[in-house]
Amino acid sequence: MRTRKSIDAEGNKVYEIYGPLFFGSTTAFLEKFEPEEDPKVIVLDFRESRIVDMSAIEALKKIVEKYENAGKSLTLRHLSSESIVLLEQAKGFLNIPIEKGS
């Protein structure tokens, strides 16, 4: 699990995720984020990754809660169809914006 961080043209912080997010990578995933230092809007780009299991969903929920508690918002981008299905199944447990056209 690797990430590359950048700031986009709108001033949002983009975390590009590399490698699958699953039970074996959630600890490394959770260590990548800096809610206190990040701007108001954060984008997780999954172009080179995918959400594999419920452990990944739980890790995403923890990240979403940390950013919400810091008064910030988080959006997912470039999700695979399989990842979208998992997130749809988790509605109610985790509600997170997904960029359209991803």
- Please state the domain count of the chain: 1
Domain of 67, in residue numbers: 2-89
| d(C-alpha 91, C-alpha 50), whole Å | 17
- Does residue 98 belong to any structural domain of this protein? no
CB atoms within 10 A of CB 92: 6
User: pLDDT (tens digit, 9 = 90+) per residue, 85-101?
Assistant: 999 999 888 888 888 76
**pLDDT of 56:** 96
Give the CA radius of gyration of the chain: 12
User: pLDDT (tens digit, 9 = 90+) per residue, 31-49?
Assistant: 999 999 999 999 999 999 9
pTM of the model: 0.92
* pLDDT of residue 54 exceeding 70: yes
Tell me the CATH number at 78. Answer: 3.30.750.24
- Does residue 38 belong to any structural domain of this protein? yes
As given in the structure block, the two tokens for residue 19 are 């490698």
| d(C-alpha 89, C-alpha 39), whole Å | 29
